[in-house]
Amino acid sequence: MNRRMMLQMGVLAMAGTIESPAFAATERKSFFARHGLPLGFQLYTVHDDAMKNLDATLQRLAAIGYRQVELDGLYGRSATQMRASLDRARLCCVSMHVLGQPLIPGVASLSGDLGQVIANAKALDAKNVVMPLFLMPKDFSPPAGGDVIATIRAAGAALTLDDYRRMAEFMNDRAGLLAREGLRLGYHNHNFELAPMGGTTGLDTLLQNTDPSIVSFELDVGWAVAGGRDPIELLNAHAGRFTQMHVKDIKASTRTNYALMQDPTEVGSGSIAWKDILPVAYSAGTRNFFVEQEPPFELQPMISLEKSYEFLSKV
């Protein structure tokens, strides 16, 4: 090798064309390993299993490799009892869903016993309190004989921009109270919030009218795509707002709608380009990622979560 060739190779190496072994090894790591991020799950996915045997369900999920959990409720337990079950499984709760209104008897809500919400979050050591559903529209009357899903669909279709503006005011107020206790309020989208409304959407209205210093958002990717929205566009347009994510996949057969409909599947088996989305999410400030899948399931929910984990541990 002559001197000229050696100089050319040196220039190429400095430019990154020739990768060092350490650099190449880092690039080969999965997204979560590369950033040192634990992968979480939303317990709602295995709701029935958890109702039957909470401890066994948590321990199996931990054995799969999950390290964080987002709770959709306490499953008839106190926050202290739930924390003990999580500790036994060596799982940590970093986020909890809490309804904005007292729609379920005996369950604390953001407009009800906020002191209990705060006490539960502290017992669980959860720093994020997330509204999983919109507030009911003003003067809304539930359909006669409608089940829960039918009622939610009817309410979602009845929402106006004024309803979303009132919701933003409510979130700012609650978020301020939670912030004093070291907690952060978030909002989780479905696809209702993505319906076109006078040149904007409900989600955009919430983003524009909430205080970014105390209100964050949890982007449900599956519902965003079902609502015809590009998750990458959302993340780039609102950097720093989507601090948490529901990693949820859907089949290509899902048609754009705003009425709580999708064709669900395991992460990596659907139409969503996770290799593109995850790096953008990280750059935009997303740090908590929870795998979630909607029914109906083609596999057992636990097997679905295992399949999703296997994909995400390599992507």
Give pLDDT tens digits for 80-129.
Answer: 999 999 999 999 999 999 999 988 888 899 999 999 999 999 999 999 99
Give the CA count within 13 Å in the CB-facing half-sphere of 226: 26
Label the pairing between strands 264-265 and 249-250: antiparallel
For 186-243, how does the pLDDT look when each residue is reduced to its tens digit (9 = 90+)? Answer: 999 999 999 999 999 999 999 999 999 999 999 999 999 999 999 999 999 999 999 9
User: Tokens representing 101?
Assistant: 């209104």
Q: Where does the pLDDT of residue 146 fall: very low under 50, low under 70, confident under 90, or very high at 90 and above?
A: confident
Average pLDDT over residues 135-151: 90
pLDDT value of residue 117: 98
Give the CA count within 13 Å in the CB-facing half-sphere of 232: 9
pLDDT value of residue 219: 99
Mean pLDDT score of the chain, rounded to an integer?
Answer: 93
| Residue with tokens 């105390």, as numbered in its chain | 214
Torsion angles phi and psi, residue 254, rounded to 5:
-65, 125
Is pLDDT at 138 greater than 50 in this prediction? yes
What is the percentage of the chain residues whose pLDDT exceeds 70?
91
pLDDT value of residue 3: 52
Indicate the Cα dihedral angle 217, 222, 228, 229, nearest 10°. 30
pTM above 0.85, yes or no: yes
Q: How far does the chain reach from its first CA to its final CA, in angstroms?
A: 39
Average pLDDT over residues 55-73: 98
| Residue with tokens 């590369």, as numbered in its chain | 34
Which residue from 250, 258, 242, 230 is spatially nearest to 294, judged by alpha carbons? 250
Q: What is the enclosing helix (H) or strand (E) of 123?
A: helix 114-124
- All domains in the chain, ordered by first residue: 1-36 (no CATH), 38-312 (3.20.20.150)
pLDDT value of residue 103: 82
Calpha distance 248→29 (Å, rounded): 22
Q: Where does the pLDDT of residue 13 fall: very low under 50, low under 70, confident under 90, or very high at 90 and above?
A: very low
Of the ranges 105-114, 169-178, 196-205, 266-275, which one carries the lowest mean pLDDT score?
A: 105-114
